[in-house]
Amino acid sequence: MNSFIDLTALTAPDNITEHAALSEYTTFHAGGACLALVSPENTDELRNVIAACMRQEIPYFILGRGSNLLVSDSGFPGIVISLRKHFSGVRTEGERIICGAGALLKHAADEALSASLSGLEFASGIPGTVGGAIRMNAGAYGREIRDCIESAELLFPDGMVRTFSGEELELSYRHSVVEELSLVVLSAVFLLKSSRQDEVRALMDDLNQRRRDKQPLELASAGSTFKRPEGYFAGKLIDDAGLRGFRIGNAGVSEKHAGFVVNYGGASAAEIYQVIQYVREEVFRKFGVLLEPEVRLLGDF
């Protein structure tokens, strides 16, 4: 264990991976290691891990599926906390789907399908966790988390837990109160509508087919790399700037969808980052629009 913090005093040894290679925990498949990756078993353990990090002034980071994340090649000199192992339950109660923050959105959407509930179809192809999706107010095909979330349970850095209504989460385009207040999403309740199961399935299948047709799902990426600039589409600007297929080393702009920066295999985080920066510079030079990355950066770039 690193010399600053004894995680074995806080959770069972099999919940701790020292020097975890974060490339294995992100959909970009790039980046270095962290000091340790820890999967707390319950809220008390999570609270204690965060408190120990704060006390020792060791940075910590809450990891979901890592599907919107680029980790530096030099890694993250802190503790990465994952809720995927022990906070991943999903269940139905009437018209509500109740999920742990570490549950995959796909799992939540499949549960809704089984219960003939409509409202989460848009989420079935978004490869993140419920916690990451709330943090990002993830959305697709005209719907977003804001439209279906009833409430979420959140942990404050001082250890307090409070339930926020959907409104209190202040969800807007790729934004929520979660980051502003350094909160951790513990669980969420989605309020859906009873529907016909075949209709839920048909919509889900249609949206997933549209994804497969348009997106480079066969390559490692973090989805749309940039936020949608007001009045434009990032992918179209990048395409119009002549950058479709542009490459640096093993990273590049997807041929299939110019809004995706992809890892063709073995790209370093530095290469991916250079592509992102080059695209931003070129689009700004040609069209005067500054693209803002949607992808979160972790570590030094």
Ligand X SMILES: Cc1cc2nc3c(=O)[nH]c(=O)nc-3n(C[C@H](O)[C@H](O)[C@H](O)COP(=O)(O)OP(=O)(O)OC[C@H]3O[C@@H](n4cnc5c(N)ncnc54)[C@H](O)[C@@H]3O)c2cc1C
Q: Which residue lies nearer to ligand X by CB, 27 or 116?
A: 27
Cβ proximity to ligand X: between 143 and 287 the closer is: 143
Residues that bind ligand X (CB under 6 A): 27, 61-69, 83, 101, 126-129, 131-133, 135-136, 138-140, 178, 184-185, 215, 217, 221-223, 296
Which CB atom, from 138 or from 248, has the smaller least distance to ligand X?
138
Output the smallest distance, CB 3 to ligand X, in A. 25
Smaller CB separation from ligand X, 110 or 282? 110
228 in Cβ contact with 173 (< 8 Å): yes
Please state the closest distance from residue 285 (CB atom) to ligand X, in A: 27
82 catalytic? Reply is no
Three-class DSSP labels, the chain: CCCCCCHHHCCCHHHEEECCEHHHHCCCCCCCEEEEEECCCCHHHHHHHHHHHHHHCCCEEEECCCCCEEECCCCEEEEEEECCCCCCCEEEECCEEEEECCCEHHHHHHHHHHCCEECCHHHHHCCCEHHHHHHHCCEECCEEHHHCEEEEEEECCCCCEEEEECHHHCCECCECHHHHCCCEEEEEEEECEECCHHHHHHHHHHHHHHHHHHCCCCCEECCCCECCCCCCCHHHHHHHCCCCCCEECCEEECCCCCCCEEECCCCCHHHHHHHHHHHHHHHHHHHCCCCCECCEEECCC
Active site includes 174? yes
Check 96, 143, 174, 296 and give the catalytic one: 174
- 213, 159 in Cβ contact below 8 A? no
- Smallest separation, CB 178 to ligand X (Å): 5
Least distance (Å) between residue 220 CB and ligand X: 8
153 versus 271: smaller Cβ distance to ligand X? 153
| Active-site entry in 221, 224, 254, 268 | 224
Catalytic residue among 45, 111, 271, 294: 294
- In the complex, what is the shortest distance from the CB of residue 288 to ligand X, in angstroms, rounded to a whole number? 26
The C-alpha angle with vertex 297 and arms to 294 and 301, in degrees rounded to 5, equals: 130
Cβ atoms of 119 and 192 closer than 8 Å: yes
CB of 100 to ligand X, least distance (A): 9
Closest residue to ligand X, judged by C-beta, is 64
Closer residue to ligand X in complex, CB, 142/231: 142
Quote the distance between the C-alpha of residue 15 and its chain's center: 21
Q: Distance (Å, rounded) from C-alpha 20 to C-alpha 63?
A: 12
Instruction: Please confirm, yes or no, whether 45 is among the known catalytic residues.
Output: no
Give the residue numbers marked as catalytic: 174, 224, 294
